[in-house]
Structure 1
């Protein structure tokens, strides 16, 4: 199997199960035009997150890494009226693109974009009493994943679902000798999940239009 095959299968899944959405398509086009990195989730992955939120009945979501707002829109659309996504983005340019994309999608009233480094923003969320969150999506800089997990636990409750994206690192996550900061961040993230008695967790490998990748999933049990 190769990337062309993986992409073809993803395209088939999307064509079969996910209706064309010009708002989401335009969000990707505008993100590309602005020069943002193409780190957004694939359409079928966005729908996967959307369904997870629906299945859980989440009302309060925390997202690490807004980028152009593509995954944010998928998450927000899964919320009931009165729900809220708080999404954290360090790059002001990306946040501006995201805000425009989110407005076009008609979900601005459900989304609160916080601009700045997440580790600076998270204490403010705690001070404002915005937790606990029902669903947390971690899709930002991987070296800080261990810190993001610690904060996720502070801002969670029993039953909170925590999803981590891009955890396979093209297979490098299995190499204990790999010194790449992204790989080490993910490995430490897994170590902390495994050691924490409040978490029950697993991870899956994926292949598709985003290459060889994967998600971690944890639920807060206490």
Structure 2
């Protein structure tokens, strides 16, 4: 039986690499750390994006020159802070959170980070809130990180509320490899349905990247509206 190479992607190795890259490329930040800590303190699920992914969102927003950002799924506002900090003067993040308690915690974290003035937290289910945004100025970046069962719906609204060139990012598209299975449950079914939209809907041009970090084996899809 072959012994694993010391360079095989074991959990210990990829966590070490994640810690190294995070320590090298993501500066320590009190407000972001407090946002992460608030999840455990408030009994919320600790499912925020990893720091490297947070910075990726930040950089994508800056690369896109985004002034208006839409986020579906706020949780404790960790990713929201990253996005808000990427905006120029007068920029705006609209973030949607279904759970009132989560929204309350998010608002406190946004205030602590000094970005509450550029973020609007809208409470309610995405399916109910997204139609209320129709007719407003289009969004330049959309980040989808909510209930996976609704990914296809959220992507449809991303296309409706964006413009040609809008960047769309969908989190958690690998699900520890279960995305290749057709009987892995409703969340995986929702991920696969969303990826099918990105493949088949002519409004999108997309790719996806697998990730290995402190959140485990997962990935993100990145698209633009055409």
- TM tier, smaller: over 0.9
Task: Provide Cα deviations, 1:45-75, integer angstroms capped at 9, x if missing partner.
Answer: 1011101111110000000100000000000
1:201 aligned to 2:206?
Answer: yes
CA distance in 2, matches of 1:167, 1:179: 13
Moved over 2 A (4+): none
Task: Provide Cα deviations, 1:186-221, integer angstroms capped at 9, x if missing partner.
Answer: 111111111111211111111111100000011111
Who is 2:191 aligned against? 186
How much is the aligned-residue C-alpha RMSD, in angstroms? 0.9
Who is 1:220 aligned against? 225
TM-score, normalised by the number of residues in structure 2 = 0.94
Matches within 5 A, 1:9-158: 9-126=17-134, 129-158=135-164
Structure 2 contact 178–184 (Cα < 8 Å) conserved: no
CA distance in 1, matches of 2:164, 2:96: 23
Give the 3-state SS of the residue equivalent to 2:207 in structure 1: strand
Who is 1:163 aligned against? 169
| Structure index of larger Rg | 2
Task: Provide Cα deviations, 1:142-198, integer angstroms capped at 9, x if missing partner.
Answer: 00001101111110100001000000011011112x240010001111111111112
CA distance in 1, matches of 2:116, 2:208: 32
Give the 3-state SS of the residue equivalent to 1:67 in structure 2: coil
TM-score, normalised by the number of residues in structure 1 = 0.96
Q: CA deviation at 1:96?
A: 0.4
Give the 3-state SS of the residue equivalent to 1:213 in structure 2: strand
Give the 3-state SS of the residue equivalent to 1:96 in structure 2: helix
CA distance in 1, matches of 2:198, 2:34: 36
Who is 2:3 aligned against? none
Gaps of 5+ in 1: none
